Amino acid sequence: MVRVRAVLVGLGHRTACYASYALQHPDEMEVVGLADPDGDRLANFAEKYNIPSDKCFSSSQELAAIPRFGDIAINGTMDEAHVETTIPLVEAGYHVLLEKPIAPNSSELNLLDAAVTKAGVKVVICHVLRYAPFYNAIQQRIVAGDIGEIIHIHSTENVSYHHMAVAFVRGKWNRREVNPIMLAKCCHDLDLICWFNSGIKPTKISSMGGRHFFTTKNAPEGAGENCFDCEIERDCQYSAKRHYIDNDWWSFYALAGEKNYEQGEENDTKSSAIHIAATDYGRCVWHSENDVADRQSVIIEFENGSIASHDLVSNSSRATRRLQIVGTKGEIFGDMTSGQFTLWKPAATDGKEYTQEVVDTGVSEDMHGGGDLRLVQDFLSLVRGEQPSLATTSLSDSLNSHRIAYAADISMQESRIVDFDDI
């Protein structure tokens, strides 16, 4: 098998996850270059992947400015840097595995699309859920015609109270102007909807939502501005101390930038607390600078009359995604976390109301239902020129879902139905 040479751009936790494929499958992928303005991250990755200093760069742009020395780039920079960091890579001839969302607005989306078309390279967006066995198996049944033509899709993403707090209240995705939540959190679900409805154009989008819970007016009596200086902290379900230190939830966000943590060394509770207390991750959820919606629903009409709706539900106790797809010949209903879905079909002609088949795709430990490294494997096989899988995407496959997210934000803000063609 041809070994694919990868350069890594944006050395955060997502890139670390995808890059680990090279450690597990050194015969398939080799890391040959790195780019990140953060010198500590650069040094840690260089040591881990044995990269010489002349192949370590302080930005994607700098790496792309020298003659191409890899086959692919894995771009895990933050959302707002995706387009400016990817264009130089595609112009230099790299195939790119790019984190979602592609771009914060349609003008940047179009800019990247034009650059990719001109360069003739492959750009795949990290729609990891397509690779989760749960969603992959559902799509196989749709493609096989098991439920006929799709009439209605209803999906729900239940974001847990602690995930909501770390990412969308205290964290990096808490500003609507840069990261509207339907784009930042649900572009996967919108991608799945467009995938299930492959080849059918969306026509109208309507959305409602807002921020009504994680606001200052809901702060309980005694709540401090910071969890590390708060008299009711021990009784609070959103305590940063409980989440990031006692329970070790989401420490890769809360401890990002902490020296020991970045170097993969054990960290004592005291230095973790000092670090977190000084960052936004220590802030009270009722006194943070968030302005993204903490609930949002979107309805999409497609040109064949099918309807899809998606609910972003936050503050859920248990995180999961749920899905119901009703077609002309049957229906699928499932819960991603359980890994199970049920396929019902009308059965009046057999004297029954319906038939039922339960499909168990297995429970996965990771938050993307086992999709992360399967995506890397599929991207490598695409670059090697092998047969694309059912889940493989090109950049153009990902444009509709992003445009729906932009339209949903406009619809929510302006209380109106948005025509897809106006986006």
Ligand X SMILES: NC(=O)c1ccc[n+]([C@@H]2O[C@H](COP(=O)([O-])OP(=O)(O)OC[C@H]3O[C@@H](n4cnc5c(N)ncnc54)[C@H](O)[C@@H]3O)[C@@H](O)[C@H]2O)c1
Residues that bind ligand X (CB under 6 A): 9-14, 35-38, 41, 59-60, 76-79, 81, 85, 99-100, 126, 128, 256, 368
Strand partners, 123: 96
Report the C-alpha gap between 141 and 412 in whole angstroms.
34
Smallest gap from Cβ 234 to ligand X, in A, equals 29
Q: Which is nearer to ligand X, 179 or 315 (CB)?
A: 179
Return the SS3 of 64.
helix
Q: Which residue has the tokens 């890769």?
A: 252
Smallest gap from Cβ 10 to ligand X, in A, equals 3
Smallest gap from Cβ 85 to ligand X, in A, equals 5
Q: Which is nearer to ligand X, 343 or 382 (CB)?
A: 382
Report the C-alpha gap between 146 and 384 in whole angstroms.
32
Q: Which is nearer to ligand X, 291 or 419 (CB)?
A: 291
Report the C-alpha gap between 54 and 342 in whole angstroms.
54
Strand partners, 157: 312, 321
> Contact, 347 vs 107, CB < 8 A?
no
Smallest gap from Cβ 111 to ligand X, in A, equals 16
Q: Which is nearer to ligand X, 37 or 148 (CB)?
A: 37
Give the residue among 181, 70, 162 at the shortest CA–CA distance from 121: 70
* DSSP structure string for 8-42: EES-SHHHHHHHHHHHH-TTTEEEEEEE-S-HHHH
Smallest gap from Cβ 415 to ligand X, in A, equals 28
Q: Which is nearer to ligand X, 102 or 343 (CB)?
A: 102
Residue number of the CB atom closest to ligand X: 12
What letter does residue 71 receive in the DSSP assignment? S
Smallest gap from Cβ 9 to ligand X, in A, equals 5
What one-letter code names the amino acid at 128? V
Q: Which is nearer to ligand X, 68 or 204 (CB)?
A: 68
What letter does residue 230 receive in the DSSP assignment? -
Burial of 248 (0-12, 13-18, 19+ CB in 10 A): exposed
Q: Which is nearer to ligand X, 166 or 227 (CB)?
A: 166
Give the residue among 241, 242, 249 at the shortest CA–CA distance from 275: 241
Q: Which residue has the tokens 């939502």?
A: 209
Q: Which is nearer to ligand X, 165 or 418 (CB)?
A: 165
Torsion of CA 190, 191, 193, 196, to 10 degrees: 180
* First vs last C-alpha separation in the chain: 43
Smallest gap from Cβ 295 to ligand X, in A, equals 20
Q: Which is nearer to ligand X, 41 or 402 (CB)?
A: 41
Smallest gap from Cβ 115 to ligand X, in A, equals 16
Smallest gap from Cβ 88 to ligand X, in A, equals 9
Q: Could you tell me whether strands 29-35 and 4-9 are parallel, antiparallel, or unpaired per DSSP bridges? A: parallel
